[in-house]
Each structure stands twice: as structure tokens, then as C-alpha cells.
Amino acid sequence: MKLIAPSVLSADFAHLADDLEMINRSEADWLHVDVMDGTFVPNISFGFPLMEPMRKYCTKPLDVHLMIVHPEKYVERFCDAGAWSVGFHLEAVDDPLPILDLIRAKGVRTCLTINPDIAVERLVPYLDKVDMVLLMSVFAGFGGQKFIPETMSKIRFIRSEIERRGLQTLIEIDGGVNADNAAELFRAGADVLVAGSAVFGSPDPIQAIHTLKN
Ligand code: DX5
Ligand code: ZN
């Protein structure tokens, strides 16, 4: 699959409806929604108050990426707020399985995420228990960082595991994605590319999304 999920983190919040309308007209597949709590990551983004306008103005599925401690307390609320998929960080929890169950019970797709310093092998036991894994290609917390090249071999590793076991699990990549590395990321086995600054920092975001996808 070759999907593009622009990250609303880099949108203009004073004109959010305009940016969402642009996303609606574009070839974007999902809208990536970065929720940061200032504890799991050294930054605070936004929370529930933005879910409603996003659901109202955005026609694309909301792909929620929780960068928070205690995701078990909040995943159901994000599901109720209109998330299409909800992901949280493996390194933020003791046992992801009951939290994945909470999300699945709401009929929402599940995603497990790891930061670049977490061994990619730690995702292997969960590949058949989630709809998607998200490999961070920068340290979670901020848009506009530089892509970490070691991500490429991690994608190939997870892709080969998924193929070997005949799974349908999607691989999403988040951080530093741009027109220079998108094709290589898809070739390595990524299904979904998140892009913040490469889309919203472009003078022509619609074209930028097209370029990333093709
Ligand atoms: C980083 C977020 C990313 C971020 C990506 O913590 O998870 O989704 O918005 O931004 P860019 O594409 O600018 O690296
Ligand atoms: Zn993200």
C-alpha cells in the first residue's frame, strides 16, 4: 500500500478549516493527529478540543498518534471522539495487550509505535495483534526534524517478518519524511508515510502530497 498521512501538527491552527479543506481536496489518505502530553515527550501539542473540529471539517480518516503516558486512560475517549485508528507507544506501557483490546472493542484500528532508540524486535510479538506498527524515524516530540537513516533497515526487517508470517499488518513511518526519501521508504516496505513539514511547509501542499505519493 502507498498511503500518505499529512500531520496536522504542522498545520496553521488559526486557519485549521482551510488546511483541512486542502487535505480533503488532496490525494492524502489519512490525517495524522499528533497528541503530546509534555511528559512522555518534551512538548505539548493538543488534545480533545481539536478532535471535534477535525472530525467535522476533515473527510479523511483521523490517524491518532498518542505520545502520552498512561494511554490506557484516554484511548477510549479518542475512539469516541472520532479516531479511525489509535496508536500509542510500546515503551510507554507495561503491557500493551489490554490497551489494544480497549481500542478494538470500540471498533477502531490499533497501532503500536516505537521511538528510534527502542529495539525494533520488541514489536515482533505484537505484529499479529495490531492493524499497524509505526516506526518513528525521528524522536517523537517535534515536527521538522531530520530523518534517521537507520529506519530503512528496520522497515525491511519488519516487512520480512510480516511477509514470512503472511500478515496484513501495515507499516507506518513518521518523522523527516520528504520528497527525497519517500520513494525509498515505500520500496523498503512502508505502507503509510506521515509528513508534517514536507506538506504544510510547502508553497503547494496539494502538489507536495502528490509528489510524496507518486
Ligand atoms: C513527531 C510527530 C510527527 C511529526 C512529523 O513527534 O509524531 O508526526 O509531526 O513532522 P515532520 O514530517 O515535519 O517530521
Ligand atoms: Zn506522529
Per-residue pLDDT of the chain (214 residues; tens, 9 = 90+): 999 999 999 999 999 999 999 999 999 999 999 999 999 999 999 999 999 999 999 999 999 999 999 999 999 999 999 999 999 999 999 999 999 999 999 999 999 999 999 999 999 999 999 999 999 999 999 999 999 999 999 999 999 999 999 999 999 999 999 999 999 999 999 999 999 999 999 999 999 999 999 9
Query: Which domains, and CATH codes, for the chain?
Result: 3-213 (3.20.20.70)
Q: Which of 62, 174, 185, 199 to mutate to test the pocket of ligand 1 (most atoms within 8 A of CB)?
A: 174
Model-wide pTM > 0.75: yes
9 lines ligand 1 (CB under 6 A): yes
Q: Which of 4, 8, 9 to mutate to test the pocket of ligand 1 (most atoms within 8 A of CB)?
A: 9
Pseudo-torsion of CA 150, 1, 53, 76, nearest 10°?
-80
204 is known as an active-site residue: no
Using CA atoms, how far residue 172 sits from 19, 73, 191, in Å, is: 22, 24, 6
Q: Which of 10, 35, 185, 200 to mutate to test the pocket of ligand 1 (most atoms within 8 A of CB)?
A: 10
With contact defined as beta carbons under 8 Å apart, do 57 and 18 qualify? no
- Provide the CA 179 distance to its chain's centre, in angstroms: 18
37 is known as an active-site residue: no
194 lines ligand 1 (CB under 6 A): yes
pLDDT at 109: 98
pLDDT at 194: 98
Give the atom of ligand 1 at the shortest distance from the alpha carbon of 176. 14
175 lines ligand 1 (CB under 6 A): yes
Q: How far is the CA of 142 from the centre of ligand 1 (A)?
A: 6
58 lines ligand 1 (CB under 6 A): no
141 lines ligand 1 (CB under 6 A): yes
Q: Could you say which DSSP state residue 90 is in?
A: G
Strand partners, 135: 114, 173
Report the C-alpha gap between 132 and 121 in whole angstroms: 15
As residues whose CB is below 5 A from the ion ligand 2, the structure lists: 34, 65, 174
How many other C-beta atoms can be found within 10 angstroms of the C-beta atom of residue 149?
Answer: 11
